[in-house]
């Protein structure tokens, strides 16, 4: 049961979205992912390609200011590499495929699990955000574990305390895209009424 102090501590400074994503996790000793062994070579490649793309965006903008043709060509090459990586990841047998309903923000997330987890436990989360797919392996600390409405399930709240800047930017971009998609859907629904 949460106390008043817990609920104050659980307030986040980030916009939250309801999302459906593929999720896998393992308990680890601390925020270091080196021994988590959650990443297949294909999944690791996709994660690294996404981080590299995020880090190179400013360079591509600079090239685009000088030479639009070269920038357009580099964007096409980038899309081709990303397409190959996505295909490899979706074909990998150990990529998480079961989609869960979660509440996601740049600062953390909550999800339903079949077993309780002690607060302060560290997890290695492997996320596949749709529809990109955007693959991330990130450390998270359990903030809370509450009994869920469904029998035999638990609502787990985790905090992303050891995200790198590129990982946080990838999450932020996904959240903004999802938020924009929800706004467009709401406008379309209003117009149809």
**Is it the case that residue 117 has pLDDT exceeding 90?**
yes
Spatial separation of the C-alpha atoms in residues 71 and 51, rounded to whole Å = 19
- What's the pLDDT score for residue 8? 41
- What's the pLDDT score for residue 116? 92
- What's the pLDDT score for residue 40? 63
Give Cα separations from 35 to 9, 81, 101, 137, 191 (angstroms).
Answer: 29, 28, 28, 12, 52
- What's the pLDDT score for residue 39? 57
Least confident of 36-45, 107-116, 122-131, 134-143: 36-45
Q: Provide mean pLDDT across the span 26-43.
A: 71
Tell me the domains of the chain and their CATH numbers: 4-38+96-192 (2.40.10.220)
- What's the pLDDT score for residue 13? 62
Segment (H or E) for 108? strand 108-113
Residue appearing with tokens 């929800």: 182
pLDDT above 90 as % of the chain: 24
Segment (H or E) for 181? helix 165-192
- What's the pLDDT score for residue 106? 87
Mean pLDDT rounded to a whole number for the chain: 80
- Helix, coil or strand: residue 119: coil
Spatial separation of the C-alpha atoms in residues 97 and 9, rounded to whole Å = 32
């Amino acid at each position: 049961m949460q106390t008043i102090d817990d609920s104050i501590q659980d307030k986040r400074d980030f916009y939250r979205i309801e999302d459906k994503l593929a999720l896998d996790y393992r308990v680890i000793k601390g925020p270091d992912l080196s021994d988590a062994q959650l990443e297949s070579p294909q999944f690791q490649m996709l994660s690294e390609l996404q981080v590299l793309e995020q880090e190179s965006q400013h360079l591509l903008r600079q090239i685009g200011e000088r030479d639009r043709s070269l920038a357009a060509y580099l964007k096409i090459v980038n899309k081709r590499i990303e397409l190959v990586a996505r295909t490899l990841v979706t074909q990998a047998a150990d990529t998480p495929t079961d989609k869960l309903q979660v509440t996601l923000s740049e600062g953390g997330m909550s999800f339903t699990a079949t077993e309780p987890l002690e607060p302060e436990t560290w997890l290695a989360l492997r996320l596949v955000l749709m529809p990109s797919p955007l693959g991330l392996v990130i450390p998270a600390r359990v903030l809370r574990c509450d009994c869920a409405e469904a029998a035999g399930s638990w609502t787990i709240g985790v905090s992303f305390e050891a995200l790198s800047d590129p990982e946080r930017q990838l999450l932020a971009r996904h959240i903004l895209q999802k938020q924009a998609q929800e706004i467009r859907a709401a406008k379309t629904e209003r117009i149809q009424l």
